[in-house]
Structure 1
Amino acid sequence: MRAIFVFFGGQRQWARLALALAQGAPVPLLDEPTTFLDPAHAISVLELVRKQARAGKTVVVVLHDHMLAGQYSDTRAVMNNGEVIARGTPKEALRKDILAAAYGIDVEIWDDPFSDAPRHRFPRCAQGLEHSKDEHQRPQFGVRSQRL
């Protein structure tokens, strides 16, 4: 058995996820569980979370990749400056006006024809837009996954 600090980034994330789920918390809180993971492993993590939700467990996942969040969540909250500015299904919370307010730039939204999850892109960054360097001032996306 190796100490967790000798694992690589992705291995460390899997170890943290295993620890979080093994603790038996009534509502596990997973903060950026897909960080350092390649796309296949990130999807594996979210499939594992979805399996927990289908078993009737509530799992709270914080993700900045809101396209993945929209694909794997049933309820999402969009936060800006520490306040929830939208809450609902991915289609309700991932709207052009909400993301434009959260990021301060133009955004295009469409429904993915395969998953029906909302997708987006930022066509260009607003000129002169000053983004806060303070992590707490950046938009945050919280996802609560239940029976999917």
Structure 2
Amino acid sequence: MIAHRWGRRRLARWIQWYGHGREGQPDIKSGSGSVEDIVSHHADVHAALSRHQAIIAARARAELSMYRKTGSMSIGTKGPPATKLDRYVYLTDANEGNWWNSAVGFEFGHMAKIPKTDKEVWVPGKWIIHKAAGLPHG
């Protein structure tokens, strides 16, 4: 038990987020060579993030399939090498000239005019991405 505690304390002094490292040099807080940088580029971390992205995208596609009428909306993904580290799961509308407003309105909700009247009503969002990722939503 004593050896374990000693090893743990020694490791904690050697790898830390702030302060001085084992060599007496200041630790790199962020950027190249920092602990965050080393861990974020590790192959196992990339594999785990890619798996998680695939799960969220599959859930989002299943959720979207319940609402899709024209087939113009779709779920897309983006990750390395197109991005340095981040993974994205997003909703887009291929047939809409302003796909951003269309997708955002579908996700979060939007105002719509009732045909043959000037009355506007709130159309609730479907929260496709939020549900798929387990995020809180309205």
For normalisation by structure 2, the TM-score amounts to 0.25
Structure with a larger share of its residues in helix: 2
Q: Which has the larger radius of gyration?
A: 2
| Higher RCO (Cα < 8 Å, 6 or more apart) | 1
For normalisation by structure 1, the TM-score amounts to 0.24
